[in-house]
Structure 1
């Protein structure tokens, strides 16, 4: 489960001679300098934006589908298909948008307000079983005022929905879901997006490829002729692809090697703090031993977060014990202090619990790195908790296997790194409140937390929202339904020939503006 430096060096040497796939060879000959290749870990599961794959693979959905608004690489919300950010009614229930004119879907059909209405209402219909549908269940419907003007109507105030829209939604042509069926959107979504990439091919366990959209509505973009998203699970293999010029950009560089690699000749790299990158341990509060709050508090006090983040994640995680980055405007230092690393407190809480003599549980962990490699962290946690008499059994499986199990409530615990849109309430809402697509992962509900959520949803400004978020963090520190280790940074490495690429603070790898030198 842990890799030695010698093993890593050996694999790097072997990986450097990996052959190019047939597709890459063909394209390098046909489009010299025109193909951008991005290597990602894990396994894609869908091209459908409302049933999206994991965070990294959202590069696929976001090159096909677009939204009314988007986040830029600095995490600033800005208009996309809409001309401007919406006008919001005084009661916070109506959001008015005006679309750009002249935008066309990949099939040549013009984008209109009717397409937006159809897309939203299809996603909101429970009969369609959109995985992210519950995220938007406070939205009611869309009213069309003209081919370019529309209003989104909410059932109750819900200010974060715009930020969530940027990651878990897209706009497709009216009637296309019935016309093409679910497999079209999932496996070969040709003709149904407005984005910079035209879907070309999905070769399982290898790559997904795109051609440049010659009629893209943003002039001069994209600059690449072809985009290949390679599936390269192993850290060492991704690095080898980069060093041997078989990949132009890689995601999830190994933290222990990142600082050295980014200064290597011909290579560039950068890392940026994220507002939505949870590094945490998900606990199923319905399963023993996590059905006892004192046991959960014992675990929370027994974990040396600083050592994990400095020595295992090599500074790529900003330490915090609550669901807020220390650098964020909503961080509550008082709540963070409640869960200090203290083995005496851990033992005291254990004695107060239903399991005073310790307990055993299974800790799941992704076998292939997802955003960061958690395997060494799992081994460290196993050692740490043994100090207070708690036995941890580590279970390794692919992220594509663990995520559905987590959503169904089938895991005791999972040490993981997950990315949200960067809104302070999103992850708390989907994991720790009832009726969301990840609610069963925690089996945790709390009436006061629900009330605080509603109060926060009414606010569009930081200062009036902050006291509600601070109280949420204190409540979660005291009840410890999950255990937070910190917030991870987004990091990438890329070759010198890649121009205009920047690491995104809140989204996946963004390549719409990238050109090749």
Structure 2
């Protein structure tokens, strides 16, 4: 570490929770105890917990692969955090806590982060975790030539310096008020240094895991199941409780209900929350319902046919009755959205009534289409993803609603792999989407809507005002000012309509009587299984 680095910056020692707050140099910065409180990691602890046993989980969604650095899409996120860990963990309320980091220091201008790593942590490969591994992962992830999914999330990194085996310094080009929360995403997962140098390293991740997490990948049989086994060398004493987790990939919701009823699975994640109604009278099962950071949206590629015209996109928005779509798709087990996910609405969201283009107005929609040169209406292909059961009834309902204003829709069903190819190639067209976010608006919006090269702008929105607001929001540390900026951005999104955020579904998980201490993280990833246990008596 340079002498200049040691002596010229006043530093704030930070970690654990984002309270209380202190304002310095115009920035609102979280202040917390210097060291980690491990009890908050992965949800509440249970003093009655017993070790051992196998848990079988049913899932409709199967990851195409477990290449966590390159595989896009939400499917891999659900289980990857059980095998791979990041420097920072975000709790259910969105507060950052040390995970692989034992503590951290942050400069007043939010451009320099010094992380002290835990000692005694080993990868599943057996080698010890060191600062060099952290540097390798961040440098690899931020390099756009590597084709990683998180390159843009870490584009502001200027330098990653190894100070000693357990200390790493991350310097940013600009202040980034969301950097700690950014590190909670699996894009920040730490893997052994030089892992991706091997010719077969990416495909090997489908047969073994190389993280530091509480579980190891034992088997992955595509179109069938995956099996995770307890990591005996895991660094948190006594965790995880389970010896084994088996995740069965079940092709449809009907099969999931049968599996839950007959005990073939101990836990079922219901993609269609309304299926819980059919289990209410089963006394051997418990339905858990919790808030989410998820959204079900309709994306409008601004280069796709008539959608290039903002007036056409606004017309589409004015024809959508979000409540009716939510009822058709998930029977009301969720929350109608404006431009913010449910778990962040209170802190960051603009009320629905304060946003444009939220109420159905068929006549105005027709007038906008005529003004845009389409008096006889338009024809669009609406894409859905096979395996996302809510999309089929949602698409049918949308088609009926849109037809009333002259937007004629045909439905095209794509497999997840093809859909992801279109997504990464920025050829989304007119499509339903299903995605979640770590709890910060910068992470929700920046990569998806900022113009290139800083953002991916997946919907080809190309909005300079939107990009300016996103830059301001990222570089502002004061929460009050950030809220003003992101409120303005939400109004711009709602007016220009590169996307229609329709609703966020609640997390619905069905568990058998033997399952104890399970909680679902708002982001929908299976963090809670680390502290789940099975009552085998």
After TM superposition, the score normalised by the length of structure 2 is: 0.84
- The reply on whether 1:314 has 2:299 as its aligned counterpart is no
1:48 to 57, 67, 72: 67
Show the counterpart of 1:188.
207
Show the counterpart of 1:475.
492
Show the counterpart of 1:101.
119
Equivalent position SS for 2:132 = helix
- The reply on whether 1:513 has 2:535 as its aligned counterpart is no
Q: Contact conserved, 2:208 with 2:219, CA < 8 A, in 1?
A: no
2:374 to 355, 358, 368: 355
Unaligned runs of 5+ in 1: 1-31
Unaligned runs of 5+ in 2: 1-50
Q: Contact conserved, 2:317 with 2:357, CA < 8 A, in 1?
A: no
- The reply on whether 1:212 has 2:233 as its aligned counterpart is no
Q: Contact conserved, 1:119 with 1:174, CA < 8 A, in 2?
A: yes
- Measure the CA separation in 1 of the matches of 2:206 and 2:281: 38
- What does the per-residue CA deviation read over 1:260-288, in whole Å, with 9 as the maximum and x for residues that have no partner? 425521111222222x3121111110111
Show the counterpart of 1:155.
173
- The reply on whether 1:423 has 2:440 as its aligned counterpart is yes
1:463 to 480, 491, 498: 480
Show the counterpart of 2:470.
453
Show the counterpart of 1:410.
427
Change (3 A) 1:411 1:147: closer
Show the counterpart of 1:176.
195
Q: Contact conserved, 2:328 with 2:397, CA < 8 A, in 1?
A: no
- The reply on whether 1:389 has 2:406 as its aligned counterpart is yes
- What does the per-residue CA deviation read over 1:481-512, in whole Å, with 9 as the maximum and x for residues that have no partner? 11121222222111111111012101412211
Q: Contact conserved, 1:421 with 1:507, CA < 8 A, in 2?
A: no
- Measure the CA separation in 2 of the matches of 1:47 and 1:350: 44
- Measure the CA separation in 1 of the matches of 2:457 and 2:201: 25
Change (3 A) 1:71 1:507: farther
- What does the per-residue CA deviation read over 1:338-366, in whole Å, with 9 as the maximum and x for residues that have no partner? 43222222222222213232100100012
- The reply on whether 1:273 has 2:291 as its aligned counterpart is yes
Q: Contact conserved, 2:79 with 2:526, CA < 8 A, in 1?
A: no
- Measure the CA separation in 1 of the matches of 2:257 and 2:98: 35
- The reply on whether 1:344 has 2:370 as its aligned counterpart is no
- Measure the CA separation in 2 of the matches of 1:230 and 1:435: 39
Q: Contact conserved, 1:75 with 1:505, CA < 8 A, in 2?
A: no
1:137 to 124, 143, 155: 155
Show the counterpart of 1:4.
none
Deviation at 1:296, TM superposition (A): 0.7
- What does the per-residue CA deviation read over 1:10-60, in whole Å, with 9 as the maximum and x for residues that have no partner? xxxxxxxxxxxxxxxxxxxxxx97211111113312212222464343243
Change (3 A) 1:356 1:160: farther
- Measure the CA separation in 2 of the matches of 1:491 and 1:453: 33
Deviation at 1:72, TM superposition (A): 2.8
Change (3 A) 1:93 1:45: same
Equivalent position SS for 1:171 = coil
- Measure the CA separation in 1 of the matches of 2:453 and 2:424: 10
- Measure the CA separation in 1 of the matches of 2:229 and 2:422: 35
- What does the per-residue CA deviation read over 1:371-400, in whole Å, with 9 as the maximum and x for residues that have no partner? x61110100111111111111010112223
Q: Contact conserved, 1:65 with 1:193, CA < 8 A, in 2?
A: yes
Q: Contact conserved, 1:40 with 1:57, CA < 8 A, in 2?
A: no
Q: Contact conserved, 2:356 with 2:491, CA < 8 A, in 1?
A: no
The 10-residue stretch of structure 1 (410-419 or 316-325) with the greater mean CA deviation from structure 2: 316-325
- Measure the CA separation in 1 of the matches of 2:204 and 2:158: 24
- Measure the CA separation in 2 of the matches of 1:131 and 1:301: 33
Segments ≥4 residues shifted beyond 6 Å: none
Q: Contact conserved, 1:145 with 1:151, CA < 8 A, in 2?
A: yes
Equivalent position SS for 1:145 = strand
Equivalent position SS for 1:329 = helix
Q: Contact conserved, 2:83 with 2:211, CA < 8 A, in 1?
A: yes
Q: Contact conserved, 2:382 with 2:409, CA < 8 A, in 1?
A: yes
- Measure the CA separation in 1 of the matches of 2:429 and 2:149: 22
- What does the per-residue CA deviation read over 1:49-86, in whole Å, with 9 as the maximum and x for residues that have no partner? 222464343243212211101123444322111113x3
Q: Contact conserved, 1:253 with 1:493, CA < 8 A, in 2?
A: no
Q: Contact conserved, 1:409 with 1:441, CA < 8 A, in 2?
A: yes
Cα RMSD (Å): 2.2
Equivalent position SS for 1:108 = coil
Equivalent position SS for 1:463 = helix
What number of residue pairs does the alignment pair up?
Answer: 481
Deviation at 1:473, TM superposition (A): 0.9
Q: Contact conserved, 2:83 with 2:215, CA < 8 A, in 1?
A: yes
- Measure the CA separation in 1 of the matches of 2:111 and 2:285: 48
The 10-residue stretch of structure 1 (498-507 or 41-50) with the greater mean CA deviation from structure 2: 41-50
